[in-house]
Amino acid sequence: MSDQKTPGTGGDHYISYEERTGDESTVYFTKNLTAEGLHNIFQKVGGHLTGKVAVKLHTGEKHGPNIIPRPWVEALIKNDIQNGNIVETNTYYEGDRYTTEAHRETLKVNGWTFCPVDIMDEDGTALFPIKGGKWFKEMSVGKNLANYDSFLALTHFKGHTMGGFGGSNKNIGIGCADGRIGKKWIHTVEGSDNQWSIAEEEFMERMTESTKSVFDHFGDKIVYINVLRNMSVSCDCEGVAAEPVVTPNIGIVASTDILAVDQASVDLVYALNEHDHHALVERMETCHGLRQLTYMKELGMGNDRYHLLDIDENDKEISVKEAVKDVKPFHAE
């Protein structure tokens, strides 16, 4: 670990597109929140994946109401990623996925039985190096992550009690760190009795460096899909106790650029009217979650400027305002 331990600032401040500088990446968008929509947008980025593919998604606590619908994932893996396994790690908190045995039972309850699910820290951990880290030189991840050639971050975008929002960065940074060592490094001050003693900008930076260990490992064999649906301010870790959803469903975004895909997701939420985005924006800003984005940029992980291409309209370039102009108030399915 590095001796430099001063977190950055500004995690409660949203930087408008006009204030950003640098190159632009491509982000694909669809309003089609169905298995077909997920298939269609995967086709735009999936060609980068070869060999054995790790499909990292949040499989949820028992009966979790907001996770990506299982039939969508089943169709995607069976039709598009035949050499793909769902990958997970055990949790740091004591819940339905704290031990491998309990985790396997939760997977069964939630119906994740149609393909192999690799609990990557079941048989131990591995240390993945981090290039340019401030808090860490390496991260402890599930050992089995090293068995894969490519990586798909298939993320349910939503709020998060610690991170402000959970996008691809959180899905990877927390989701690949093993349940006993890596997650503790990210969440807990050494020697503290408070499991969640690291928060705000420092937490965002530690989580992002954990993501960078996976980002560095897979290189150009990693792609990102965020599903902006059932966006509670609560993480899927909270299961049936999650706060009710009040933010309208928006669509699905995908990119080969992790910063661009998370930035576009945040931008789409901010582009909603104030009434529709208030709860989720408040969660992002009060947790200082926007530091995730600026720190990814500082670490050279991608671009916060992008072309947003609507695949429902033959890849027509649109603005985030155009993307959300026809959203409907949220209604549970």
Per-residue pLDDT in tens (0 to 9) along the chain, 333 residues = 445 689 999 999 999 999 999 999 999 999 999 999 999 999 999 998 999 999 999 999 999 888 999 999 999 999 999 999 999 999 999 989 999 999 999 999 999 999 999 999 999 999 999 999 999 999 999 999 999 999 999 999 999 999 999 999 999 999 999 999 999 999 999 999 999 999 999 999 999 999 999 999 999 999 999 999 999 998 777 677 678 888 999 999 999 999 999 999 999 999 999 999 999 999 999 999 999 999 999 999 999 999 999 999 999 999 999 999 999 998 777
Alpha-carbon span 208 to 298, nearest angstrom: 11
User: What pLDDT is recorded for position 241?
Assistant: 67
Ramachandran angles phi, psi of 230, nearest 5°: 50, 55
Alpha-carbon span 209 to 214, nearest angstrom: 9
Residue 4 placed within a domain:
no
Residue 2 placed within a domain:
no
How far from each other are the two terminal CA atoms of the chain, in whole angstroms? Answer: 46
CATH code of residue 138: 3.40.50
Three-state secondary structure call for residue 128: strand
Residue 7 placed within a domain:
no
User: What pLDDT is recorded for position 245?
Assistant: 86
Residue 3 placed within a domain:
no
Residue 37 placed within a domain:
yes
User: What pLDDT is recorded for position 323?
Assistant: 98
Q: Which domain holds residue 240?
A: 17-324
Q: Please tell me the chain's helix, strand, coil percentages from 3-state DSSP, rounded to the nearest 5.
A: 35, 20, 45
State how many domains the chain has: 1
Alpha-carbon span 84 to 78, nearest angstrom: 9
Q: Is 314 left (phi over 0), alpha (psi -120 to 50) or beta?
A: left
Residues with Cβ < 8 Å from 164, sequence gap 6 or more? 11, 204, 283, 284, 285, 286, 287, 288, 289, 290, 292
Q: Buried b vs exposed e over 258-269: b needs ≥16 C-beta within 10 Å?
A: bbbbbbbbbbbb
Residue 329 placed within a domain:
no
Taking the model in full, what pTM does it have?
0.97
Residue 6 placed within a domain:
no
Radius of gyration of the chain (CA): 18
Residue 8 placed within a domain:
no
Residues with Cβ < 8 Å from 123, sequence gap 6 or more? 143, 144
